[in-house]
A = this chain, B = another copy of it.
Amino acid sequence: MTAKEESEENVIYVGNKPPMSYVLAVVTQFNSGSTEVVIKARGRAISRAVDAAEITRNRFVQDAKIKEIRIGTEAITNEEGRTSNVSSIEISLSK
Q: Which residues 48-90 in A have Cβ within 8 Å of B in the complex?
A: 50-51, 53-54, 58, 66, 69-73, 85, 87-89
Pick the residue among B54, B72, B88 that contacts A87 (CB under 8 A): B54
Complex Cα–Cα for A54 and B53 (A) = 21
Asked whether A43 is an interface residue with its Cβ less than 8 Å from the other chain, the reply is yes
* Number of copies of chain A assembled together: 2
Complex Cα–Cα for A88 and B44 (A) = 14
**Closest beta carbon of chain B to A15's beta carbon, Å:** 13
Pick the residue among B51, B66, B71 that contacts A50 (CB under 8 A): B71
Closest residue of chain B to A51 (Cβ to Cβ) is: B87
Complex Cα–Cα for A70 and B71 (A) = 12
